[in-house]
Amino acid sequence: MNLQETILDPLAFPFFVRALVASMIVGLVCATVGSYMVLRGLAFMGDALSHSAFPGVVVAYIVKAPLYFGASIAAVGTALAIGWLTRQGRLRTDTAIGVLFAAMFALGIFLFSTIPNYVGDLFGFLFGNVLGIGFGDLLSLTALAAIVLASVLVFWKELLYATFDPLGAAASGLPVGRLDYLLLALIALTIVISLQAVGIILVVAMLITPAATAQLVARSFGRLVVTAAAIGALCPIVGLYLSYWLNSASGATVVLVESALFLVVLAVTGLGARLRRPEPETD
Amino acid sequence: MTVQPKPARAWRDPQPEIGCDDDSPTIISLCGVNVGYDDRLALEDVDLQVPKGALVAVVGPNGGGKTTLLKLIAGVLRPWTGTVEVLGAPAGRHAQRVAYVPQAELVDWSFPVSVWNVAMMGRYPRLGPLRYPGRADREAVAAALERVGMADRACSTIGALSGGQRRRAFLARAMAAEADLYLLDEPVTGVDLPTQEAIMALMADEADRGKTVVATTHDLAAATRHFRSIVAVNRCVVASGPADLVTDKDVLARIYGPHLLVLGKGIGIIDDSHHHDDPAGRERHFHEDGGGRP
């Protein structure tokens, strides 16, 4: 088998092409939204929101509603509840997250355990199976991705200012509170989009790892997002081919590729910094 | 600047004090303000008028409410009772004419933004969503960077700057916003003397142009040297007037209370190491080499 066949052969399968397109879109959206999350220290929030989407998925499955719909309601609802609890000032963010996310995941497991028969789809959502994505799913995924990316494009400046200096932004008239809620809602939607590609457990890696890698090399916010988005869109290609050749779980393979890239960049930049340690200037 | 007399408090100066032009319109007006966090009162019964063109230092001990006063004026903190009017409307209404520079310790200096980006943020609120900076914005940013002497560092990442340069980058943001009111939280803390002079000369210049500058500082020497008026706060406004007010021993005693140790012959020691209620250490003061760098 030569290289050309190795690359082209899988593309003959429609399911592989669909999976490729889906995971590239997911990677792109995750990395874009993840850039804001990394800068705001919201990695834990990503993990929490993905877990809290679970009961929504189970309920949607039981009542035979679209799974994306159930997941969206549960995740966005939890995101807004966390935001509200935190803004009351009585609980620290991580405490509010810890309480809500464990409760929501437990609710999902509880509901799941009451379903009498084995349900394969739910395992798909827990661990991701992008190879099983249908054309209809791909369409709704693309539509949701477009909504998230358009929102980021519209509020790019405002989200950046509110992330960098919330106090200065609020004082100069930006609606920082509403922007916080918007970002939480975007994170929740992004997670919903990603559920089928990587699953509840691993989606946090898709959100955080590309942005964390980009943060090691990028010197401006624009470049951070572009670098993260490029990593997020390209790693799934490598990951999916690997998973095809190795017959490994697709979501996990993509995450491992992103993680390996992070480690390589970390090692290279660490080495570079040791060679020429730039001293910050004094006046 | 005037402080409304409050007969209930004997130590409050009954006469209106300063020095600023009485013809100037009032830019900031606080009336009977009580404010706090959760259920804890931070500032009590504040009455304060600041005229246009004033260059005011807010002084007081750590935890005395300096930043709280600034946030009230900025409109990001709502008073429990009383009214805060800024630029002729309730605080926050004319937010685009207000520029706020936070304490250096509150800024994430590892954030990937350049000096140019930071200054450009001053233009964001007036641009609005979806609109991207145009030529007028770039010119305003370039002019602001020129004035603060950071034009040659426009492309530097903020993390690579010294403390003084960082402060000047944020001042450029305030100037690029073309605000009428500057609110600066500890603008000269942890900055070397030449930079202090440069920053405050710039602010004095802005005040002369009819802008109003209100800045907190814990440094009384800096307050008397660089500012024209002073508001001293310690849980309430304890004194206000011309900048040399704080050389007065009685006024000092009101500001610092038991933390002031008077040794006689005009020598006093301010023991301000007991942070009142600041467990997060947010008001710790760093110096140039240690300042906020990761």
pLDDT (tens digit per residue) in B13-35: 433 444 444 567 888 999 999 99
What is the Cα–Cα distance from A2 to B274, expressed in whole angstroms? 74
Kindly tell me if the per-residue pLDDT of A33 is higher than 60. yes
pTM of the model: 0.84
Kindly tell me if the per-residue pLDDT of B279 is higher than 50. no
Close Cβ partners of A115 (under 8 Å, ≥ 6 residues apart) = A58, A61, A62
- Banded model confidence at residue A134, pLDDT cuts 50, 70, 90: confident
Residue A277 or residue B244, greater confidence: B244
Dihedral angle of Cα B54, B57, B60, B65, to the nearest 10 degrees: 70
| φ/ψ of residue B114, rounded to 5 | -90, 170
What is the Cα–Cα distance from A169 to A166, expressed in whole angstroms? 5
SS3 A223: helix
According to the model, what pLDDT value does residue B286 have? 33
According to the model, what pLDDT value does residue A278 have? 54
Residues of B in contact with A169 (CB under 8 A): 121, 124-125
Long-range contacts, A213-219 (Cβ 8 Å, 24+): A213/A258, A213/A261, A213/A262, A213/A265, A213/A266, A214/A31, A214/A35, A215/A38, A215/A39, A215/B112, A216/A262, A216/A265, A216/A266, A216/A269, A217/A265, A217/A269, A218/B112, A219/B112, A219/B114, A219/B157
The pair of structure tokens assigned to B32 is 């009977």
- ipTM (interface pTM): 0.82
Test B183 with A221 for CB contact under 8 angstroms: no
Summary mean pLDDT of chain A: 87
**Neighbour-count burial of A4, counting CB atoms closer than 10 A to its CB (0-12 exposed, 13-18 middle, 19+ buried):** exposed
The pair of structure tokens assigned to B203 is 């602010």
Test B161 with A172 for CB contact under 8 angstroms: no
For A182-217, write each residue's pLDDT tens digit: 998 899 899 988 887 888 888 999 999 999 999 999
According to the model, what pLDDT value does residue B238 have? 86
Whether chain B has a CB inside 8 Å of the CB on A4: the answer is no
What is the Cα–Cα distance from A9 to A74, expressed in whole angstroms? 40
What is the Cα–Cα distance from B79 to B36, expressed in whole angstroms? 8
For B58-91, write each residue's pLDDT tens digit: 998 888 889 999 999 999 999 999 999 999 889 8
Kindly tell me if the per-residue pLDDT of B275 is higher than 80. no
**Rounded percentage of chain B residues whose pLDDT exceeds 70:** 79
- Banded model confidence at residue B38, pLDDT cuts 50, 70, 90: confident
Summary mean pLDDT of chain B: 80
For B174-193, write each residue's pLDDT tens digit: 999 999 999 999 998 888 88
Kindly tell me if the per-residue pLDDT of A160 is higher than 60. yes
> What is the identity of the amino acid at A62?
I
Test A282 with B289 for CB contact under 8 angstroms: yes
Q: For residue A147, which of A185, A195, A202, A196 has the smallest C-alpha distance?
A: A185
CB atoms near residue A208 (< 10 Å):
25
What is the Cα–Cα distance from A167 to B162, expressed in whole angstroms? 22
Q: Nearest by CB to B124, from A153, A158, A219: name it.
A: A158
CB atoms near residue A246 (< 10 Å):
9
Dihedral angle of Cα A157, A160, A166, A172, to the nearest 10 degrees: -20
CB atoms near residue B219 (< 10 Å):
18
Output the furthest CA–CA distance in chain A (Å, rounded): 71
| Angle between the N-to-C axes of helices A250-275 and A221-246, in degrees from 0 to 180, rounded to the nearest 10 | 130
Q: Nearest by CB to A173, from B95, B114, B130: name it.
A: B95
CB-CB contact of B181 with B21 (8 Å) = no
User: Best mutation site among B115, B117, B124 for testing chain A: the one with the most A CBs within 10 Å?
Assistant: B124
Residue A238 or residue A86, greater confidence: A238
